Each structure stands twice: as C-alpha cells, then as structure tokens.
Amino acid sequence: MFLRYLTSLILACLASLCFAQGQSIQGYLIDKQSGKAIPSASILLKSAENKILAFKQTDSKGYFQLQNNAATKGSRLEINHLGYKKFSMSLSEVTPADQSKEQPDLKNLKIELEQNTTLLDSIMVKSRPAIQRIGDTISYNVDSFANEMDRSIGDVLKKLPGMEVSDNGNIKFQGKSISHLYIDGDDLLEDRYNIGTRTIPYKMVKDIQVLQNHEHLKVLKNKKFTDAVALNLVIKDEAKMKMTGEVKLGAGIPKQYDAELNSILFNKKFKVLNVLQGNNVGRDLEQDFTGFNSNSIMGKLGRTAINNLLSLGTVGPPMLGKANYFLNDHASLNANNLVNLKNDWQLKSNIQLMLGRDENHFEGTNTYLTENEQFVLQEVQDKDNEQFISSLRFTASMNSKDKYINNILALEYRQDEGMADIMANNTNNSGRLNEKIKGFSNHFFYIPQTKKDNLIELEWYLDYGNKPQTLRLTPGVFADRLNNNLPYDASLQFVEVPTLFSRANLGYRIPTTKIRQSYRLGAILDKQQFNSRLEKEIEGSSMAFPQDSLTNQMDWQRYSLSTEAGYDWEKKRLAVTLTLPLMLQFTHFADPNFDINNKQQQLLFQPSLNAKLRVASEDELSLGIHRTKSFGNIDNVYRGIVLRNYRSLSNNLAGLAEYESRSANLNYKFNRTLKMFFMNAGISYSQNISSNIISNEVGENSTNTQLLDRENQVNSLSTSFGIDKYIFKWASSLKVNANWSMTDYNQLFNQELLPFKQYSYSLRTQVETKIWKNLNLSYFGLASWSDNQAGSGDGSLDRTSFNVNQSVGLPVYLFKGLTLRITARHLFNQQEGLKDINYVFLDGFARYRFAKWKTDLELNMTNLANVKSFETYSISANRQSHNLYQLRGRMAVLKVIFNFL
C-alpha cells in the first residue's frame, strides 16, 4: 500500500512539472543610440538567491523569449553583452500596460541598452554563464548548480550535465572515466581522488573544468593522439588566501560516533589536503585507498598481481550502500601535501594510514543445476576482521613545455586478520585467515625535447611485492579426499607468490611531420615463485597429509623484448592513430615436485587502430579496433592442490594458457554545451579465445576447480545510449542511460559442457528538479533485466530475473539556514520460481546553519523503518544464489561541524 501511494505521489509531482504553466517573458533588445536590434546578448532570469532560473540568447532581430514559471518573489532579469553596459531589473519593476490589471505585461518588453566604451582589458564581467565551452574545455560555474543541501564538491559533481559519479566515487564524463582530478592545475591526489571530492567544500570552487582530449605531459601536448578526459577544480581567489578546515564531531544511537578533522590550503605554491577521521556508522574508509585507474595503468605496464587466493567464505556483498550493513570501527589519516618550486619542479607526498575492524553476518544458498539433478550448498557465516593499512607515495616531477621528469616511490604494508564461524550444510566450522602485503615500487619517466623538436622517452618501472596468506580451518575439511576418510583437528593452508617485476623502455618521437611517428624499444623481467603447502593439525602439531600433491614450489621467469611503432595522422576534422607492437617473449617455469621444467618462446603481435571524426563543432564519432594476444601466468600452471576456502579445492591440469582477443567499438557523442544537452551512444563487440577452460565439479558439500586443456570462446556484444539535459525553466536536470548486452559462453560443470547465452538490459534515470518554491525532488531509478538461456536441452536451465533499485528524496528549505530531507529507497527483485523480494528503506536528514559562528548542526537518521535483514537473488550460468544479510537497523547521529580559520 505504501508503495502505491509513493508511486502516485511521484507521478503527481512529475505531472505537475510537465504541465506547469508560467507567464512568458518576451521582448526586444535595441541600441539606445541607434535603435538597431542587438543580437547574441545573454538574457538571464535569476532568483533572489542569484540562482539562474532560465537562459536565452537574442536572435538576429534582438528577440528573446523566456518562461518564468520557476520565478519567485525577488526574481530579476539580467542582460549581458560585451559591447553594452550590464542591464538588470526586477520583474516587479515592470509597469502594467493596462492600469486596471495588477500583473505586469511581460510579453512586449522593449529594452534599450547603452553602449559601453570602456577599454576591453579593463572590463570586469561579474555575471558568468552557468556553462561555457572554449575549444576542448567545458567549464561549469559551481554556484549555478549548487544548493543549500550540498556540502562538498562531490555533491555538485553528481548533478552536472554530462557527469556521472558512482557510489564508490569514480567520476565519468559521458561514460568515460577521468584520468586526472586537478586542483588549480596540480594533480595533488593522483587517481585516489575520492577523499578530495568528499572533503573539499563546494564554496571553495569557482569552476569545474572538463578537459577533453587531455594530455597530462605538457611536452607531449598536441604531439600525440589522446582521448583522455580530466577534471580541473578552479579555486576561488578568496579561498587561496589562508589555511581553512573543518572539525566534525558526531555521536548517536546505538553507540555511534563519527568524527573528522581536516585542513585545506590551495594556493599557487602549496596545496594541502589532510584528513584525520574515524567512525563506526558504516562508512568504509578503505575506499579512500582505491586507485580508480590502477588496473589500466598496471595493464599498460604488463603487470598482473596474483593476490587473494584464499578466503574465509563464498558470499559477496549485497547491492546496498555500506551504511546499511557494514558494521565497522575505522580510523584513518590521509595526508596529501604538494609544493611547487622554481623551474616547474614539484614535490609531493601522499601518506595514507588506516586501522580498522569490521564484522558481518550473512547466509547464502548456492544451487547448481543440471538437466538431471541439482546440488544445494548452504552457508551461514559470522565474520570478524581486523586490518592495518599503510600506503606511502613520494613524487618529484618537472612538467614543462620542453621537458618532463617524474619519479614516484611507493611503499605499501598491510596486515589483515579475519575470523569466522561457519555452518555449511549443517556442518560447523571455524576459520582464521592471516594476510600480509609487503611491497615497493619506483617509476621513473624522463622526456627531453631535442633541438629539432623531437622527443626522447626513457621509462623504468621496478616493483616488488608479496602477500603471504595462511588459512586455518577447524575441524579439518575434505577428510575423505585428503586423509583417507579419517577426521582430523584442523586444515592449514599457506600460499605466497613473491613477485619481482621490472620494465624499461627507450623511445623516440617525431611530432613535426605530417604523420607523427613514435618508435620504442622495451624489455620486461618478471620473476615469481608460487609457494604453497597444505598440512593437517592433530593435537596441536602440524604434519603432512598422506598425499604428495599438496605442495607447490614453482619458480617462474618471463623475459620479453619488444618494439613498437606508432603513427598519428590528423587533418581538419579527422584524427587516426595506428600502433604496431611486436614482442618476443620467453617463459620458463619449473617445479621439481611434479617434474615440471617447461620452456616456451612466443612471438606476439598486438596492433590497434583508433580514429576520431569531428562531425560538427561539438559532435564526435570515434572508432577503435584492437587485437591482443597473451599467455597465462604462474596462477595457470601450478599443479599442487590449494585449499581456497572451507569448501573449495583448486589446481591446474593444463599447460600454459594462450589467450587471443579481438574487439571493436564505435561511439558517437552529441553535445550542445550552451543548451546543456549531452548525448552519447555506442556499440562494442569482443571475441575472446582461450586454449584452457575452467572445470567446476560440485558435490554434496564441496567444489573443486581445475584448469583443463580445452579451447573456450566467449563472444560479447553490447550497446549503450545516454542523454543528459539541464532544463532551465524547471531548474532541473535529467539523466537517462540505457544498456543492452549479450554474452555467449560455455560452462564446464561436472565434466559436462553447458553452452549459455546471457542477455542483460538496464535503464537508469536520475532527476533533480524543483517542485514548488523551496521544495525539491531528487529521483534515482535503475531497472535491470537478466535472461540466462541454455544453448541446449529442454529449457529447464533457463532463468530470468528482474530488479528495481529506486530512491526518492524530498529536500526542503523551510527558512534561511534550515534544510530538511526525507529519502525513501525501494528495492525489488523478481525471479521465476521464487518469491518476490520487496524492501523500502527510509532515511531523514536535517541541517541548521549558524552563519555567524561558522557552525552547522546536522542530524542524520538512517533506516527509520528498522529493516534488520536483507535478501537477494542472483543468477550466473547454471548457478542460482540466494543470500540473506544482517543489517545495522535504525540509527541516528547528531553532528556539529565547525569551520575554523
């Protein structure tokens, strides 16, 4: 019943928006002296709070027309033109044409502008447009998009047309992840920018600039093809004058705390963002350690880390915000400091430390289906985890027009200790998992420009890392397979993969010819060891099992020599880049326990072609065609059995895997910046062929995973479409994204090859609008469909599911300084043969601002309906999962925020 009323309310609100009628403002601009029409003048309708409600430009005859249904008391009309004096008038100043009417006639305005004879370099324009475009740079005026509910620059970013911010803080512009987040041109945070967007107050930022086709290295600017997108936060002049910061102290029920101390300084020489924080309200501070581009960076280097081979359980997290289920106690220090020296030199340090503890309770049921039988694996787990994380990065760089020097030294140490009580298919078990990460890396990059304007490129990357893991399970598991069916006290699994990786490149770039050329020679050294042993414990003593196939002592060495030629060609609106890399690779791996001593030599050719056509001044069509070929790593060839978790054993029976991938993508971007309309559409296809396939064998209470020699092919086709529009007359933003994908793949299950096709559809909608005066509406909705079809058989393995995730927020500003918001979130899951899952979560928020004391008082209330458990379904190939999670329940936290300095 509640959902019916809630849906009716939403539809009524949207209907009122669609059919709202307002008085039209129409008129002409003429030159006061000559009487001629004035074209291309900016006409803005502004509220009493100086927010832009509508925007138009006069046509060639000086005519303009605006809708003022969003206007409120105190609204005014503002006119700007470079050759004329600024004009501003309140709507209440317009005299009615008919004296018998109370309302003024706003349809036949005749406005005269006086010429401005001030010299151009002395003009100061105080009223700036909400959005403007200069070349490849789009600039958003932050004050035009922010409101009283916002606090950080991240809150504003979510509303900007063309922009997308995920739950973990990753920022995309028109579907493409940003490469850098600059603060006044300096890359203070690198790709771990989540702490910045969450902490930097939006009132410090003047503009948010989107830098398209961006090149980070100034010496390479306009000398190579790039389609990267970056953001630059332009800091207000008054915010650069001194150090600022906030003290946040929060306490609540039941036994909740949330505290933060931050200091911020952004001027030309120094940039400082230091944050000390702690909480137990479900905010995961480990997310601040996430490098959003780390995977792509490591992929370009040719480095793939092998970690997390062992785990305590098999159930993943729910599709909920962590604040609902994450039972944590975290404290962290995030210190980011940068100093600009003479001659374009820059020194930077990024230090992150975290000490934390978290726990959770979940229940999971995995059902594996075949046409003749099914296997049900149940799991109930209570988990407690303690961790210490440290990450230190030190950078020295010079980024000038004729030279680039950069050296990054990174040190990392992490220790995790997890404990869990597990019940699996009515069998009790307890586990302990200890992990340590120890590693360092150094990345040196040097690019000088020669006298002939050519470039030399020298790069060296060195990395060493190790993550030993120890898993202890009580009582011992797999007694039938490992210990002659005799029970024993505990299973002990140890595994580590110490890795030394080094890469060196020497390149030469010729950017002065019609076809820009680059050539590179490279060498890679990759040395690893796969050390593992599985033992049993009886009466406190560890000893070997009767089998001799439970130990790995594999040495791995891979060397490669490579050459690469790159060609860029650009003429008028077309740009094309062709990359031709050729690699000779030597691989040697050996394990005396299994009489393995394998040497292989491979020649790899991986060409790629990228093209971009500027269809119009703001429209772009891009094409990418890629072919890659690679071979597996040490994780594919170890022979000894590894106990991955309490119910899963894993090993390999295949040779070194060979992978070949072919992909193509076509994307179109349609932009109308001044109208704040952005659209993008794309289609992509990929074919991945592997010489090996993963075999899954499932029994009554266990699983076994092996890699076998058998060709496996996966074909994928996907399309996407998105529009993003800011609607002036409603002071609203609308974001819509649609996606469709099809994946054709095989599953080897219990020695039976099962072909599958999975079809996925999704539709995401986001609306921010004003309903009435000080009442706003915020809506987010995501609907997704999944259809999993077996390629053979009678259709008994076919599965479909439907999911809805939507939220409605109603922010209201009762009077100056006081803001309120009520948020309802609805989650729905429907799957054939199972009962529907339906949840509604309610949250409340209130803020009162004491402007005189620079202090805010906030009350945050979550899960007002006191939902304490959450169910979810998911399907993948022939596996159907049903999970249940324990939630935090109702919480309330009162927080005082004091702005100092």
CATH number at residue 716: 2.40.170
pLDDT at 123: 42
d(CA 300, CA 628): 12
d(CA 631, CA 600): 10
654 compared with 277, residue with greater pLDDT: 277
Residue with token string 């151009």 = 120
pLDDT, one tens digit per residue, over 755-792 is: 889 999 999 999 988 887 788 889 999 999 998 888 77
Instruction: Supply the Cα-derived Rg of the chain in whole angstroms.
Output: 31
User: What confidence tier does 2 reach under pLDDT thresholds 50, 70, 90?
Assistant: very low
Of the three residues 122, 146, 162, the one that is the final residue of a domain is: 122
Q: What is the mean pLDDT of residues 850-877?
A: 87
d(CA 479, CA 493): 14
pLDDT at 146: 85
pTM: 0.81
pLDDT, one tens digit per residue, over 472-510 is: 999 999 888 888 889 999 999 999 999 999 999 999 999
Q: Is the pLDDT of residue 467 over 50?
A: yes
Residue with token string 């599958």 = 756
- Asked, for residue 225, whether it belongs to a domain, the answer is no
396 in Cβ contact with 407 (< 8 Å): yes
pLDDT at 8: 40
d(CA 435, CA 471): 9
pLDDT at 251: 96
Beta carbons within 8 Å of 30's beta carbon, 6+ residues apart:
36, 37, 38, 62, 110, 111, 112, 113
d(CA 251, CA 57): 51
Query: Within 13 Å of residue 715, how many CA atoms lie on the same side as its CB?
Result: 4
869 in Cβ contact with 884 (< 8 Å): yes
User: What confidence tier does 70 reach under pLDDT thresholds 50, 70, 90?
Assistant: low
User: What confidence tier does 88 reach under pLDDT thresholds 50, 70, 90?
Assistant: confident
646 in Cβ contact with 555 (< 8 Å): no
Of the three residues 122, 140, 172, the one that is the final residue of a domain is: 122
Q: Which of 646, 695, 701, 650 is nearest to 366 (CA)?
A: 701
Q: Is the pLDDT of residue 355 over 70?
A: yes
Q: What is the mean pLDDT of residues 35-47?
A: 81
92 compared with 824, residue with greater pLDDT: 824
Of the three residues 91, 122, 153, the one that is the final residue of a domain is: 122
CATH number of the domain enclosing 80: 2.60.40.1120
- Asked, for residue 271, whether it belongs to a domain, the answer is yes
d(CA 353, CA 197): 19
Q: What is the mean pLDDT of residues 839-843?
A: 94
Q: Is the pLDDT of residue 95 over 70?
A: no
Question: Total domain count for the chain?
Answer: 2
Q: Is the pLDDT of residue 15 over 50?
A: no
- Asked, for residue 139, whether it belongs to a domain, the answer is no
340 in Cβ contact with 186 (< 8 Å): yes
Q: Is the pLDDT of residue 3 over 60?
A: no
d(CA 825, CA 822): 10
Q: Is the pLDDT of residue 100 over 60?
A: no
Q: Which of 186, 180, 184 is nearest to 237 (CA)?
A: 184
pLDDT, one tens digit per residue, over 216-266 is: 999 999 888 888 999 999 999 988 888 999 999 999 999 999 999 999 999
Percentage of the chain surpassing pLDDT 90?
A: 51
d(CA 250, CA 200): 19
- Asked, for residue 245, whether it belongs to a domain, the answer is no
Q: Is 162 left (phi over 0), alpha (psi -120 to 50) or beta?
A: left
- Asked, for residue 823, whether it belongs to a domain, the answer is yes
pLDDT, one tens digit per residue, over 362-371 is: 888 888 777 6
d(CA 892, CA 895): 10
pLDDT at 300: 60
Q: What is the mean pLDDT of residues 273-298?
A: 86
Show the domain range for 72: 24-122
282 in Cβ contact with 322 (< 8 Å): yes
640 in Cβ contact with 550 (< 8 Å): yes
- Asked, for residue 888, whether it belongs to a domain, the answer is yes
User: What confidence tier does 524 reach under pLDDT thresholds 50, 70, 90?
Assistant: very high
- Asked, for residue 807, whether it belongs to a domain, the answer is yes
pLDDT, one tens digit per residue, over 547-580 is: 888 999 999 999 999 999 999 998 888 999 999 9
Q: Is the pLDDT of residue 157 over 50?
A: yes
pLDDT at 276: 97
Q: Which of 889, 828, 825 is nearest to 861 (CA)?
A: 889
- Asked, for residue 100, whether it belongs to a domain, the answer is yes
Q: What is the mean pLDDT of residues 544-548?
A: 85
Say how many C-beta atoms besides its own lie within 10 A of residue 778's C-beta: 19
* Maximum alpha-carbon separation in the chain: 105
Strand (E) or helix (H) holding 498: none
Q: What is the mean pLDDT of residues 60-76?
A: 72
pLDDT at 674: 82
